[in-house]
């Protein structure tokens, strides 16, 4: 059973692969002999959370460039904020990136590896008169720096004001900085700042902070340090130490590039090239790590790997494949502008992959009991079912059949409307791989709810075909009641009920846009018995229902399956509608 209504839909919804402007830049640098023709990239996550699908774009971009040009790739943790970082996040990020298929070989690094070198370089800038110790509080520093002001269609940045501590002597600054390191001053009482230009139009260049006093235990260095470098001071210098040639990052760091360049030029060290690209956003999701932390800490989701989260670990737990995510990233392309991609396109990429690889199984999520009154009591037989019609090598399996079955409750209507072709009183339908059956009686409980159907079967239609050539309009999936595996199934929908959860008014809260129906738990599902051997992470197509994955909490005593994605291909419909509108115009 194919999962897609339109298998001809191009991977990115267009006729061409998106242009990757960064690869064009790197290719030109190689041709020009820049950096001796070397290509060396890195991905530098901060271990204060788990990576999400937006990060996956950055990871696969940097790794792919290194592979395409025969270069090297580093994984480096920019671990400069001990108050928010944990070894748990380091381990989780490593696990997620490996799962995506990225291999950094022996090039795993940490910014904390360079704390001594960064400190020495900071003293070097002090000696050059390019850094000073400042006693301003964060609030005072912000006021001195100034803010951007909109005037009509333009944004202007009036000059800031120099810190009263800016003209301390080199000797005094060195003494104070060393005493900061020795722990003589309270947290937040002093900072080391670069001396650049308080009138610079880019606020990032107005004497940025390089070090702050923070007494917090670091997950790697323990309590060896009580001063920690800022991201801006650490990032470029770590790139330089590692010999990185092309430092790719999201567009939010474009205004930081002049500072990145200034630090490297002031130190006179190896100078990588920073290139920015537009961040990847996804409809019905949030990509802000701060927002994701809030969702986790306030209990709106069941942890970072909740299958509704856009985190890589959440997508993996839901049943996504690394191949589908790579296909999605490739189909999305890399551009200079930020954009939002339809969740439907991600699901399309997943269906394309799972349709080829996922074995089929029959599962009844809302069971309705069916008794075949003319089927011999005590008799059982095995029927042959196809494992994957898209993969002949997947072979077949045996499924048990008996007198009492389960079908989906929605597959029967006592008084069916027009164009309802499934089971109804007096109507004949096909049971997949089995027999034709006809409903002869409906059994209800005292409340009038249907609890059982009594049907007859045609023994001449084994395998699902009638020897006399008669045809039926519906084929239903089913499970033998005597052999059924009892399981819990979790149905997931988008976490947010609107495409852009953050587009809220001044009196609105983005959390009000959480989808109250994002998770439905079905505790009494009936699955074909072969699924009893399924293990966490195994993926299947439940015929006519969608793609499902065995959850990490699943046990032999209590199997749990997560719905990864439905069979309905929303993206194909979107592309058809777009094509129709283009034709009409």
Q: Which of 42, 206, 279, 427 is catalytic?
A: 279
User: For residue 547, which of 359, 406, 397, 407 has the smallest C-alpha distance?
Assistant: 359
> Rounded to whole angstroms, what are the CA distances from 101 to 316, 331, 415?
13, 17, 53
Q: Are 344 and 570 in contact (CB under 8 A)?
A: yes
Could you tell me which residues are beta bridge partners of residue 485?
A: 527
The CA distance from 113 to 119, in Å, is 12
Alpha helices (H) in 208-334, listed in sequence order: 231-242, 257-267, 289-297, 312-318, 322-332
The CA distance from 363 to 527, in Å, is 4
Q: Which of 168, 190, 212, 289 is catalytic?
A: 289
Q: Are 405 and 454 in contact (CB under 8 A)?
A: no
User: For residue 526, which of 406, 360, 409 has the smallest C-alpha distance?
Assistant: 406
For residue 303, give every residue at least 6 positions away whose Cβ sits within 8 Å of its Cβ, in sequence order, or none: 296
In Å, how far from its chain's centre is CA 119?
36
For residue 410, give every residue at least 6 positions away whose Cβ sits within 8 Å of its Cβ, in sequence order, or none: 366
Q: Are 480 and 435 in contact (CB under 8 A)?
A: no
* Residue-wise burial string across 212-221, b where 16 or more C-beta atoms lie within 10 A, e elsewhere: bbbeeebbbe
Half-sphere exposure of 24 (CA within 13 A, CB side): 9
* Overall residue count recorded for the chain in this entry: 585
The CA distance from 20 to 62, in Å, is 12
The CA distance from 385 to 361, in Å, is 9
The CA distance from 208 to 256, in Å, is 11
Task: Please tell me whether residue 481 adopts helix, strand or coil conformation.
Answer: coil
Q: Which of 46, 123, 172, 342 is catalytic?
A: 46
338 is catalytic: no
279 is catalytic: yes
Task: Please tell me whether residue 552 adopts helix, strand or coil conformation.
Answer: coil
247: alpha, beta or left? (left if phi > 0; alpha if psi -120 to 50): beta
139 is catalytic: no
The CA distance from 306 to 289, in Å, is 15
β-bridge pairing 479-480 and 485-492? unpaired
The CA distance from 580 to 148, in Å, is 45
Token digits for 357? 């690889």
User: For residue 546, which of 561, 531, 529 has the smallest C-alpha distance?
Assistant: 561
E strands within 251-379?
A: 273-277, 280-282, 339-341, 360-361, 363-364, 367-372
In Å, how far from its chain's centre is CA 268?
39
Half-sphere exposure of 334 (CA within 13 A, CB side): 25
The CA distance from 247 to 29, in Å, is 13
The CA distance from 534 to 349, in Å, is 24
Catalytic residues: 46, 279, 289
């Amino acid at each position: 059973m194919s999962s897609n209504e339109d298998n001809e839909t191009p991977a990115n919804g267009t006729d061409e692969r998106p242009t990757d402007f960064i690869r064009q830049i790197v290719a030109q640098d190689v041709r020009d002999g820049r950096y001796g023709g070397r290509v060396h990239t890195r991905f530098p996550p901060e271990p204060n959370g788990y990576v999400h699908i937006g990060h996956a774009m950055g990871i696969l971009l940097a790794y792919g460039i290194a592979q395409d040009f025969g270069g090297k790739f580093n994984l480096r943790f920019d671990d400069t904020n001990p108050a928010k970082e944990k070894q748990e996040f380091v381990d989780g990020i490593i696990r997620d990136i490996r799962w995506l298929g990225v291999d950094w070989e022996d090039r795993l690094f940490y910014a904390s590896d360079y704390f001594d070198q960064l400190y020495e370089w900071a003293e070097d800038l002090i000696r050059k008169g390019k850094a000073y110790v400042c006693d301003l509080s964060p609030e005072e520093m912000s006021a001195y720096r100034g803010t951007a002001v909109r005037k009509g269609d333009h944004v202007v940045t009036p000059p800031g004001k120099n810190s009263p501590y800016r003209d301390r002597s080199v000797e005094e600054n060195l003494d104070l900085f060393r005493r900061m390191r020795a722990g003589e001053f309270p947290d937040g009482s002093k900072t080391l700042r670069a001396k650049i230009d308080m009138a610079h139009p880019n606020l990032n260049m107005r004497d940025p902070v390089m070090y702050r006093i923070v007494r917090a235990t670091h997950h790697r260095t323990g309590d060896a340090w009580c001063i920690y470098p800022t991201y801006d001071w650490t990032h470029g210098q770590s790139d330089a130490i590692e010999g990185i040639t092309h430092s790719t990052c999201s567009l939010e760091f474009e205004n930081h590039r002049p500072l990145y360049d200034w630090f490297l030029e002031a130190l006179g060290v190896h100078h990588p090239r920073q290139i920015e690209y537009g961040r990847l956003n996804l409809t019905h999701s949030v990509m802000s790590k701060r927002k994701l932390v809030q969702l986790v800490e306030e209990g709106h989701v069941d942890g970072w790997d909740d299958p509704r989260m856009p985190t890589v670990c959440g997508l993996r737990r839901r049943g996504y494949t690394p191949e589908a995510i790579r296909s999605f990233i490739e189909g999305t392309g890399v551009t200079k502008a930020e954009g939002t991609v339809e969740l439907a396109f991600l699901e399309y990429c997943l269906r394309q992959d799972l349709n080829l690889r996922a074995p089929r199984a029959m599962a009844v999520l809302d069971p309705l009991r069916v008794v075949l009154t003319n089927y011999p009591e005590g008799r059982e037989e095995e029927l042959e079912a196809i494992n994957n019609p898209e993969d002949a090598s997947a072979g077949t399996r045996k499924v048990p059949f008996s007198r009492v079955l389960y079908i989906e409750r929605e597959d029967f209507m006592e008084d069916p409307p027009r164009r309802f072709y499934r089971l109804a009183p007096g109507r004949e339908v096909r049971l997949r791989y089995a027999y034709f059956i006809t409903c002869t009686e409906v059994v209800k409980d005292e409340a009038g709810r249907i609890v059982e159907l009594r049907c007859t079967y045609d023994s001449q239609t084994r395998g699902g075909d009638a020897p006399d050539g008669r045809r039926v309009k519906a084929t239903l999936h089913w499970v033998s009641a005597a052999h059924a595996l009892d399981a819990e199934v979790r149905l997931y929908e988008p976490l947010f009920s609107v495409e852009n959860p953050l587009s809220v008014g001044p009196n609105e809260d983005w959390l009000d846009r959480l989808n109250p129906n994002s998770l439905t738990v079905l505790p009494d599902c009936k699955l074909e018995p072969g699924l009893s051997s399924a293990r966490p992470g195994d993926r299947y197509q439940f015929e006519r229902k969608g793609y499902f994955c065995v959850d990490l909490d699943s046990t032999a005593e209590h199997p749990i399956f997560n719905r990864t994605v439905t069979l309905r291909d929303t993206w194909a419909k979107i592309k058809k509608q777009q094509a129709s509108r283009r034709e009409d115009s």
